[in-house]
Amino acid sequence: MASLPPTVRTTPHRLAERLSHDTEAIWAVLDEALICHLGYDTPAGPLVIPVMHARVNSDLYMHVSTGSQLALEAPAQVCLTATLLDALVLAKSQFHHSLNYRSVIVRGEATVVDDPREIDIALTAIVERVAPGRSQHSRRPNHKELAATQVLRLPIVEASVKQRSGPPKDDEEDLDLPHWAGLLPVVTGMGPAQPTAETAAAGWPAPQSR
């Protein structure tokens, strides 16, 4: 498998055994996560906000409001994170309680996308992540909406994935304590579709969920 070169910014000082720079593992987390957090220094100070994203090959695309503090006037160094929670890890000791998770951090230079075709590809990819096929069953953005939207591109060239899996790791002297230990899986799923009154009256079929 291909791996990204490790850097100081993507190599932790603790629990290095949980770390990987494997490209497919990084992409898998980014593709599954429905939301990520993007941050960088603004004139008003450091800012982190949740944003929707989509991966197209080895680039990440996000969109922000042109009126947002996160809108870029020039290329900027940013940090993007995405985390998936798989289970609560309950140990016999409080110190060893933990989480089973998969988390990606991407560092690099974000730039504003100006090419109309690339903007269309990026926004379509983001819509398709919400519900496959949705870009064919919804109105495309008009000129006014595009003017209010800034699309950002972040190449995935400096990134790592960190993850924990498996049962709690209690100290040997705690194994006989009269406390329950194990995993409480965290499951995220889509509930039943809830159409608007107009949609229900028209009888339009519900979209496909992820």
Match 């980014």 to its residue by tokens: 30
pLDDT at 67: 87
62 is a domain residue: yes
Owner of token pair 């269309």: 120
How many residues make up the chain in this entry? Answer: 210
What is the predicted pLDDT for the residue at 103?
96
* Angle, vertex CA 156, rays to CA 152 and CA 158, nearest 5: 120
Provide the residue range defining the domain that includes 26.
Answer: 17-170+177-188
The CATH number assigned to the domain holding 129 equals 2.30.110.10
Query: What is the full per-residue pLDDT of the chain (210 aa) written as tens digits?
Result: 599 988 888 877 777 778 899 999 999 999 999 999 999 887 778 889 999 999 999 999 999 999 887 788 889 999 999 999 999 999 999 999 999 999 999 999 999 999 999 999 999 999 998 888 999 999 999 999 999 999 999 999 999 999 999 999 999 999 999 999 999 999 988 888 899 999 889 888 888 766
Structural domain contains residue 36: yes
Q: What is the model's pLDDT at position 78? A: 94
3 falls within a domain: no
Residue 160, in any domain of the structure = yes
Domain-located, residue 122: yes
Please tell me the predicted confidence (pLDDT) of residue 159.
96
Helix, strand, coil share (%) of the chain residues, nearest 5: 25, 35, 40
Which pLDDT score is estimated for 156? 97
Q: The whole model's pTM is what?
A: 0.89
**Number of domain units in the chain:** 1
Is residue 194 one of the residues assigned to a domain?
Answer: no
The verdict on residue 128 lying in a domain is yes
Distance in angstroms (rounded) separating the CA atoms of residues 163 and 99: 9
The answer to whether residue 159 is domain-embedded is yes
